[in-house]
Every structure is written in structure tokens, then in C-alpha cells.
Structure 1
Amino acid sequence: MGSMLERALVPWVRRVRGSANLPVRLSWGEGGASSLALGYFEQPSVHIRVRDAQALRLLIDPSLATLGEAYVEGLIDVDGDLRDVLRVAQRLAETAEPAGGLLGRLQRQAQHSRQGDRQAIAYHYDVSNAFYAQWLDPAMVYSCAYFAHGDETLAQAQEQKIDHILRKIRLQPGQRLLDIGCGWGALVLRAAQHFGARCVGITLSQQQADLARERVRAAGLQERIQIRLQDYRDVADGPFDRITSVGMFEHVGIGHLAAYFARIRELLVLDGWAMNHGITSTDAHDGEVALGGGGFIERYVFPQGELPHIGTLLRCLQQGGLEAFDVENLRRHYARTLTCWSDSFEARTPQIRPLVSEKQWRIWRVYLAGCAWAFESDQVALYQVLCRPAGRGAAELPWSRAWMYA
């Protein structure tokens, strides 16, 4: 393998050196016997060790997706601070030929059947509750936090995010709230305990539902909160006064968004409010750009996941019979959230690695750090869209946004 790798790698390294000066040492062969520098640094901050000749097809003319694939599949090992590694990966991707470029777009038309969606959710969320508990906040909120001042802990920012949403929808005591994609139950628990709501939380993850029910019982809120293992399309006991959907609509599919919003409209009372909180693509054509495109997220992290542009989201929301009342971009908040998750993941590596396979550990390590970079660099965004049934009068609407920030 050594001579074959050297014949392929040496010309590539020379080409990279000609266009970029990278703090990288590349090694291969038995014990890393052969090595080359990709830049002119006495002590490179990143070390890429090639473990298998199959890495060549992913290293030559790389994208962020192919570099991520090489790492996840164990074809290369990478040593160094994750932020340095991501900066190097970005620069390497920029040295590629145009066809292997950074922002490759992948168009998909997933079917999104009930069974397919349940399997996709199980793949991502049923890794194990213990796994997520290692690096999420104590309430296990797995969505973008809200840093009102920027110096909060992750736990404080997650609580602020939930309160921010519940204030936006003007939740009142005694009202019925449906939380679509309730996760481990943090939002419905907060809504019942501190806002006096009667809540239904639905999820397609068995492990999430089991733990959420345990938490409801521990809080003594069985009379106010019901957790269901249920598809949003099968909810039949509306209407609800308020509906929230946090970090869920990314799984719906672009071709199904209008029907998704129409279902929310059907389940909402005429004077009700709904909140959709979710990730969007910054590609105006609804392409996947996170982690460089090329299907990395869809293949390894979120099967059948699709990210629309905010324009597509708002158009589909209107087609579904809803009026967008307030739109807020929390992109920098998600960059901070993901950095907190990635740092926690790294710090808890000794506890996390025994809980998952080596491949799963590598996937999540790349995913969390890579997505932090993607939000920071405006590859993806996070929008909260407050909406209500379309065609209503405007007399009862507040004149300012002051109530959201009380």
C-alpha cells in the first residue's frame, strides 16, 4: 500500500502546497513511516494519518463531505483541535476542482411514508438516551438554545429558548398545547409547570417517549401532560389553542411542507397561534449545503432530512393556510449551541465511546463540530416563525413585539 499511496499522494500534496499553505502533516505506511507537509510550518497543528488506500478517492479533489466520509469510515485518522481540523478541511476543499467544490448541492425527493419517517427518526434519536444525556443539558433539549445576553450557560439558554417560544405563542393557563416532535419532554413540562397549560407531546422515537413519560410521572403532571408515540398526520383530537414544532420540520420533506402546515392549520383553533422552529438552507434552491453537500448529513446523520430555504418555508406555510406574523433568525444562537454540544462531546469522550460503535462516535464528532462551523459560516440558518390561521382580522393583534421579550 505504501508505494501506491506515495505515487498518488505526492502529486496531490504538491498541488495543494501550490495553492494553500496549510499547517498539516500527512502520513501513511506502517507506523506513519512516510509523511509529507502540506505547508511550511515547523509544528503543524493537524495530523492526517492515512489508514487505507481507499481514502485516496476521498482525499484527491476533496469536499467537506468526502473528508468527513473518509474520517467516519475509518480510512483516515485526524489529530488536532477540532476547530483547527475544520479550518484545514475547509481550505482543502477550496483546493479541489470545481466539481468537488465546497457547496455541492444534492436534490432529493424522499417519499416520507409513515414507516419510512419512523425508521429515519429511530436511526437518529434512538441511539440511546444515555448517549444524549452525556453531552446535552440536564433537561436534554436537542434544539437551538436562546442566548438572551450571550454569557448564559447552555442549560440557562435552553430554558430561555423554551420560555421565548411559549411567550411568543402567548400561552395562557388552561389552554391546550400540542408539541409536534416533543423530544424528551422539556417544552411540555415547562408549559405545564410554569404556564399552566394542558399538553400533548408527540414523537416517533420510542426511547424519547419512554423517558418523557418517566419525567412527566416524576413531576406528578400525568393529568396535564400526555406523551404519545404518534405521527403528526395521525393526531385526531384537535383543535388545540397553541401548537409548537421545534426541530422537527426538517424531517417532513420539502415536497410535503404545504401539507404539513395545512395539518397544523386544521389542528389549530381559529384564534390560535403556532410556532415552527427549524433549520433552513441558505441555498435559495433548497439544496443541502451543510457540511459541504454531497449527502453527508442525509447519509450518516438524518436519513431523508431536507432543508428548505426560508422563502420556500414561508411560501408553503401560506399555501397551508397560515399567516406568518413574526420571523426571527437565530443562526448565531445555533452556532453557539452546537459549539457547546461539541465541546461537551469532546470533554466526555471517555464516557461516550463505550456507549456507541466507533463509527457512530466518529459520525457524531464530525456532525456536531461541522454543523457549528456551518451555522457560523452562514451555510445554514435557524428560523422561528410565529404564525396563525390566515384570513383573520387584525384588530386583536399587538402593535409591537414587546410581549415576546417581557
Structure 2
Amino acid sequence: MTLSIGELADEIFGTDVPFQVHAYDGSTGGNRDAGISFELKSERGLRYLVTAPGELGLARAYVQGDLEVVGVDPGDPYELLVRVKDRMGARIPDPRRIPDLVRSLGARMFVPPELPALEHPPGWRRLAEGIRHSKERDAKAISHHYDVSNAFYEHVLGPSMAYTCAVYPRVDATLEEAQEEKFDLVARKLDLRPGMRLLDVGCGWGGMVRHAVKHYGVRAIGVTLSREQAAFGQQWLAAEGLNRLGEVRHGDYRDITESDFDAVSSIGLTEHIGIKNYPGYFAFLSERLVDGGRLLNHCITRPNRHFTRLERGGFINRYVFPDGELAPVGVIINAMADQGFEVRHAEDFREHYARTCRAWAKNLSANWDAAVAESDAATARVWGLYLAGSSIGFERNEIQLHQVLGQKVAAGGQALYPLRPDFGS
């Protein structure tokens, strides 16, 4: 007995799923009252689904245009992901039906198609790019994600060009207000004052450098591996007359030779350096600081030790952050302490990051045509999935965002720090 694709979908997923299936062979399956339809356009799309069951196969077919989702905003597929996140697991078929399922698919369906151009291959196939977290391989990974187009990022991030978790001072605060508050909170935790020297590692488009120079009168150096970001940041500082005190460099943070900084901010970089490299990373930052200087580390974290690396075969690792690794906040705190930092304060902002990702997805949706024109439809689809899925992850405490404030203490234990610090605005 040979089954149609629609019948195969019913056998594997059932008919109570939150979507309907329309296949290229003319058959239908799934829930006919769902209001959302998966349109499977080609044999290649089915091969993606069969050879990589789950999120990766779906992502491949969707990114390539072999799977269209009707009734869902591609820039903000949040509601779709909420509905299907817990319902995409395949049922265990009746063993007696397996021969019919395999026969209906045919041997060709079990041969994987070529990977989409946007997908990074597994780590073992990337050895030619260098050792994991070497300067060369990190540069390629960062370029893959950040050198899309500055205009593309403006459509998604908005005028702040801040691609890290915002801090919402009020429930009704705008994204721009929340990003301004984030930068200012970092500045307050670092106790920045006029004349101080700030190093911002992984500085992105220079938002923290700009804020610190403009509002706190410090001398600031930012460094980023993205050439596009560095050029944008330097132009931004020059346009506002801030380049006398502020600089955004293109390069690796490990190439910074200056020292005696009063403060270091690391906003969204720790995710990229690798857990095994934490000791060297925090030792390097400690060496850049004066005694009593402060480090503010702001990064995505895991809620526990069960998951540290971004899943190697998962969508985020393959399409968004190749080589990315996340650790629980305790691992970061211990690594900082082992390198001479006294940890003074730690704070979780995961609900704020859920809001931030939702705001970015709404920007992408509102600017969809322009974003596609600046990149391509496949890239824009990846971003829609990524932002919506990340928001859900933060909401469900699958991932977190921590700020950890450390201070480099002098050999005798002296460190100027208030008895009860006030980080209020």
C-alpha cells in the first residue's frame, strides 16, 4: 500500500496538530481547521524533512523556499512557534505500518540534499577554518552573522543599533528607551566618571562607546571583529563629534595592547569565546584594568549545567551562531573569581531579552521588504525564526541573560566600593 504525503503526515504527526499540510503531490493532511497551512512545494523539501526530522529539517525546507507557511508573518512567526513548539514530535508509528511508510517515501527520500548556502556544516567539517575559537575561525563566524548589511541591521534593531538585551525601565517603554537604559545601567554599574578610560570588547556598532563618551565624558576604545560594524561605529562617532574621545576598532580583543583602563564592558561577547577559554579571557581583561577597576560582563546564559554548548545540530548553531557556547551564570562567576575579580553583583534580565527579541521581530516584520532587499529572502526567514524562537526561549527560562559586575582587587585587598551601591538612574 502506497500512501500520499498528506497521509504520511497524518500517520506521523496525527490530525490534531496546529497546522494543515498541502503537498506537491496534491494531497492534504493535518488539521484542516488549524488556520495555518504548511505548503510543501517540492521533493527536495520532503527530503530535508525526512533526512533531518525536527527543527533542522523544517528550517532547511523553509529557508530554501521548499516549505511555505501560509497564515503566518515571516518576519514575526512567534504565534506559530508557540503553537507548534511542543507539538512537532513525531508519534511512534505502529510497527506493522513501517514498511508501508518506507515504501511510500521511496529510497531517494532518505538521501540528504545539499545543505542550504546559509547553513554552517558540523564543526568537524570546518577544520579548514581553523581550530575552534582561534582568531581566524572566530573572525569567520562573526563575519557570517554580523556582516550581512548595516542597513539590514538598522531595519531590525532600530536607531540605537544595539544588538544586545535592552533593559526596560517601564512596562510601556519603547525599544529605544530600553536600549538607552541598558547602556546607562552598564555605565552606572561601572561607576564611570569624566576622565576615566573605558575598554568595550565586542563593541558592535559602538553604542556603548558612544553613550559613555557622550554622557559620561570618558575616553573609550571599542573593538569588534566585524569590519562593517567598525566602519559604521567610527562614522557615527565622527558625525556626532565624539571621535576625539571615542574609537571603534576593527580587530580581535586579544590584540588590544593598551592597559590601565578604569573599566571594561563586555556586552554580548562571552557567548562567542568558548567556555574552555573563560580563564584566559577574564585574565586578559584583568590585565587591562587598574587595581580597583570594574568589569561588567553581560551575556546570554543557561539556567543550569545540563546544556552548555549551543546544540551542535540545532538551528541556532547551524544558522545563527556557529561555535557559540553558553554557560550557567555560576560558571562565569567562578571563572571571574579565579582570575582575581571580586564579584560584586549579578542580575538576570531574561524577561527583558524576551521583550527585546519581540521588538526586533516586529521591526523585521514592519520592514520586511526592505530587509529582504538588503539581504535575501532566505536570510530574512532565518532571522524571523531566530528572533521568535529566542523570545520563547527567554520566556520559558530555557535561556537567560545575566549581568555580572566584578572588581579587580589590589594585592592587599583594597577596593574602593560603596557600602551599599545604588545603580538607580
Normalising to structure 2: TM-score of the pair? 0.84
Whole-Å separation in 2 of the counterparts to 1:380 and 1:57: 31
CA contact under 8 A between 1:335 and 1:376: conserved in structure 2? yes
| Per-residue deviation, 1:94 | 4.0
| Structure 2 equivalent of residue 371 of structure 1 | 390
Aligned-partner SS, 2:400:
strand
Whole-Å separation in 2 of the counterparts to 1:257 and 1:55: 40
Residues 1:183 and 2:180 are matched in the alignment = no
Root-mean-square deviation (CA), in Å?
Answer: 2.5
| Per-residue deviation, 1:96 | 5.6
CA contact under 8 A between 2:198 and 2:218: conserved in structure 1? yes
- Deviations along 1:286-317, one digit per CA (max 9) or x if unpaired, are 4346xx87332121111211111222222222
Whole-Å separation in 2 of the counterparts to 1:394 and 1:169: 17
**Which residue identity is paired with 1:89?**
V
Distance of aligned partners of 1:9 and 1:320 in 2 relative to their CA distance in 1, 3 Å threshold: farther
| Of 114, 120, 125, the match for 2:146 | 125
| Structure 1 equivalent of residue 371 of structure 2 | 352
| Structure 1 equivalent of residue 13 of structure 2 | 16
Whole-Å separation in 2 of the counterparts to 1:160 and 1:23: 39
Residues 1:46 and 2:36 are matched in the alignment = yes
| Of 255, 264, 278, the match for 1:234 | 255
**Which residue identity is paired with 2:405?**
L
Aligned-partner SS, 1:379:
coil
Residues 1:90 and 2:85 are matched in the alignment = yes
| Structure 1 equivalent of residue 405 of structure 2 | 386
CA contact under 8 A between 1:331 and 1:380: conserved in structure 2? yes
Whole-Å separation in 2 of the counterparts to 1:57 and 1:405: 55
Unaligned runs of 5+ in 2: 93-121
CA contact under 8 A between 1:63 and 1:92: conserved in structure 2? no
Structure 1 stretch 382-391 or stretch 246-255: which is displaced more?
382-391
Within a 5 Å distance, the mapping from 1:44-193 to structure 2 comes to: 44-56=34-46, 59=49, 62-81=53-72, 82-95=77-90, 111-193=132-214
- Deviations along 1:21-50, one digit per CA (max 9) or x if unpaired, are 3331100126xx3212x23x63x2311111
**Which residue identity is paired with 1:177?**
L
Whole-Å separation in 1 of the counterparts to 2:330 and 2:55: 26
Structure 1 stretch 313-322 or stretch 381-390: which is displaced more?
313-322
| Structure 2 equivalent of residue 102 of structure 1 | none
Whole-Å separation in 2 of the counterparts to 1:148 and 1:306: 29
| Per-residue deviation, 1:7 | 3.9
Q: How many aligned residue pairs are there?
A: 385
Whole-Å separation in 2 of the counterparts to 1:160 and 1:332: 15
**Which residue identity is paired with 2:18?**
P
Q: Alignment identity in percent?
A: 35
Structure 1 stretch 373-382 or stretch 307-316: which is displaced more?
307-316
Residues 1:398 and 2:395 are matched in the alignment = no
CA contact under 8 A between 1:326 and 1:385: conserved in structure 2? yes
Distance of aligned partners of 1:315 and 1:52 in 2 relative to their CA distance in 1, 3 Å threshold: farther
**Which residue identity is paired with 1:72?**
V
Distance of aligned partners of 1:392 and 1:276 in 2 relative to their CA distance in 1, 3 Å threshold: farther
Unaligned runs of 5+ in 1: 98-105
| Structure 1 equivalent of residue 342 of structure 2 | 323
| Per-residue deviation, 1:229 | 1.1
Whole-Å separation in 2 of the counterparts to 1:255 and 1:96: 38
Whole-Å separation in 2 of the counterparts to 1:318 and 1:377: 29
Whole-Å separation in 1 of the counterparts to 2:265 and 2:355: 23
CA contact under 8 A between 1:181 and 1:201: conserved in structure 2? yes
**Which residue identity is paired with 2:185?**
H
Whole-Å separation in 2 of the counterparts to 1:66 and 1:375: 23
Normalising to structure 1: TM-score of the pair? 0.88
CA contact under 8 A between 1:62 and 1:93: conserved in structure 2? no
